[in-house]
Amino acid sequence: MPTERHARLFLENAIWGDVRFCPHCGSLSFRPLRGTSVRPGLYQCAETECRRQFTVTTRTPLHATKLDLRTWVAAMFLVLTSSKGISSVVMSRILGVNQKTAWKLGHAIREMMDDRQGIAGRLSGVVEVDETFVGGKPKFRHGVKNMRGRGTGKPIALVAAARNGQARATLIPNAQGCTMKPIIEDWIDPASVLITDKNSSYHKIGASFANHLTVQHNKRQYANRKTAAHINTVEAVNAVVQRALIGVYHRLGRKHLQRYLAEIIWRWNHRAPETRVRQRKSSTGSQSVETRTV
């Protein structure tokens, strides 16, 4: 972004796109304000009962920002392109702002990554659901899955992952059926096939979907032999969530976890298809290269 103007036009394009409207009343008719005393990028609604002024940052987490829009765009770039998230210390160094500012920038950006309006739509197809303890499992005896969210005090993340690559996650106070049911029903299309472990909390929830398959989690069963059901996808998401959140949990406590969770899920949902190249040795000893997009 060579100038502030470039950054502003970039954000107008990214935030408003082709359908531009007044953020106060939603009207499609407005005009740019011109004049030497007017700051660039200021618009006024043409609706007689509204007539309010706004810029591209109005009613966004960038609202009333004192920072350059260029700094915002650079910060967004840093957060969105770092594969594991970026600390405010590193960000402050790169952007040339103090750490407190970098911290605020990071949080505002994470807030924008949270799909609170449900724009991403419902998960569909084959969808795996599982919960995970943030900050590591409570004392775990092999083969016994006890204390599911009760008495451990540790925050729990409920995670749903569709086989087509989309995922949702949120923090829940406990792993009881009545807590998880409305969330899962909100996330997942009822025509989907739900796959969970055998936890009894999922019994009733499963009835809301076209089919419900289960996997015996605690017996280290990777796929159900009869149905071939597995929850490897959601376990992959869980592993990412765990790795990213453990540090956050120990450093910051649970207050900020939901925001970091939003960032992790955004990253999962927007990851570029990566091409994996595997080399295989055939029986004749010659090597073939198999490329697949995952």
Least Cβ distance, residue 41 to Zn ion (angstroms): 16
Residue closer to Zn ion (CB basis): 29 or 164? 29
Beta carbons of 154 and 87 less than 8 angstroms apart: no
Q: Which is nearer to Zn ion, 46 or 207 (CB)?
A: 46
CA atoms within 13 A on the CB side of 50: 19
Least Cβ distance, residue 276 to Zn ion (angstroms): 50
* Amino acid at the residue 76: M
Nearer to Zn ion, 24 or 148 (CB): 24
What's the closest the beta carbon of residue 28 comes to Zn ion, in angstroms?
10
Dihedral sign (CA 202, 204, 205, 210): positive
Q: Which residues bind Zn ion (CB under 5 A)?
A: 22, 24-25, 27, 45, 47, 50
Query: What is the 3 state secondary structure string of 151-204?
Result: CCCCCEEEEEEECCCCEEEEEECCCCHHHHHHHHHHHECCCCEEEEECCCHHHH
Query: In whole angstroms, how close is the CB of 24 to Zn ion at the nearest point?
Result: 4
Which residue's CB is nearer to Zn ion, number 48 or number 81?
A: 48
What whole-number distance in Å separates Cα of residue 209 and Cα of residue 191? Answer: 6
Of 12 and 114, which has the nearer Cβ to Zn ion? 12
d(CA 145, CA 164): 29
**Residues 154 and 173: beta-carbon distance below 8 Å:** no
CB of 29 to Zn ion, least distance (A): 9
Count the helix, strand and coil residues of the chain and give each as a percent rounded to the nearest 5.
Answer: 35, 20, 45
CB of 25 to Zn ion, least distance (A): 3
- Each residue of 2-30: b (16+ CB within 10 Å) or e? eeeeebbbbbbeeeeeeeeebbbeeeeeb
Helix axes 257-269, 99-113, angle to 10 degrees: 60
Kindly tell me which of 19 and 277 has the beta carbon lying closer to Zn ion: 19
Closest approach of Zn ion to the CB of residue 58, in Å: 10
- Please report which residue ranges of 197-256 form alpha helices under DSSP H: 201-206, 232-252
> Between residues 27 and 60, which has the closer beta carbon with respect to Zn ion?
27
Are the beta carbons of 192 and 121 closer than 8 angstroms?
no
